[in-house]
Amino acid sequence: MSFPAIMVTLVVVTGIIWLIDSLLWAPQREKESKEPLVVEYARSFFPIILVVLIIRSFMVEPFRIPSASMLPTLHIGDFILVNKFTYGIRLPVLNKKVISIGEPARGDVVVFRYPKNPNIDYIKRVIGLPGDKVGYFNKIIYINGQAISQDAKKKDVALLAIAPARSELRFEKMGELGHDILIDPERILVEGETIVPEGEYFVMGDNRDNSNDSRFWGTVPEQNLVGKAFFIWMSWDWNSGGIVWHRLGDSIN
């Protein structure tokens, strides 16, 4: 079972036990009698589990970055928070949107359920919106025939330690703020054009030549969206075994 399914099950079970005890068992117990242990646990844990379920399902959810596909924006070992209501309120487990609030914007970093295996969560950047014609040629993105500008940048010391030696750092102007990307000038991956279907999104990793994204498996249906990544609350360097303090509290652009 998925974590949301487990949480919903626990809320239902503890809630039913507490309710039955309040309506049936408690009135029949002697005043001096101690309530059954299962009732005590249900009464104690029900509100805690309910609050956790509400926060995780409708407000924010934590995720850990397991790969380098979003370098330099996100590093392996980053622990991030995802806004669950930016793109609408969805029912837990069923993942059905019940309240529409907003839609992804070009340049958003989003968490979504991998279309090929919805049990796996992916994180990528939104490149193409519904109806867009997205092209990718010679490391450059084209949106409806217009090239997205890139400017060369110099890697800092921290990035030099984790990025491939031959990779190049560039600033890509997409969305309101723009973002950094990594490209490998010696590696050629999938190139071509695609039209994004209605209700779906074309996504790519910022580590352009080391990312399994829409270039390989297609677009992301709107119903697969989990939320918008917005904050790094913890970062752990698994190789050196310590907290990366300068990344704590960074926003995700």
200: which residues sit within 8 A by CB, 6+ positions away?
130, 219, 220, 221, 222
Task: Exactly one of 31, 34, 44, 69 is catalytic; name it.
Answer: 69
Task: Exactly one of 124, 139, 167, 214 is catalytic; name it.
Answer: 124
235 in catalytic set:
no
Q: Are 142 and 210 in contact (CB under 8 A)?
A: no
69 in catalytic set:
yes
Output the 3-class SS for the chain. CCHHHHHHHHHHHHHHHHHHHHHHHHHHCCCCCCCCHHHHHHHHHHHHHHHHHHHHHHCEEEEECCCCCCCCCCCCCEEEEEECCCCCEECCCCCCEEECCCCCCCCCEEEEECCCCCCCEEEEEEEECCCCEEEEECCEEEECCEECCEEEECCCHHHHHHCCCCCEEEEECCCCCCEEEEECCCCCCCCEEEECCCCEEEEECCECCCCCCHHHHCCEEHHHEEEEEEEEEEEEECCCCEECHHHCCCECC
What would you report as the CA-atom Rg of the chain, rounded to the nearest whole angstrom? Answer: 23
Q: 36 phi and psi, to 5 degrees? A: -55, 150
Residues annotated as catalytic (active site), given as ranges: 69, 124
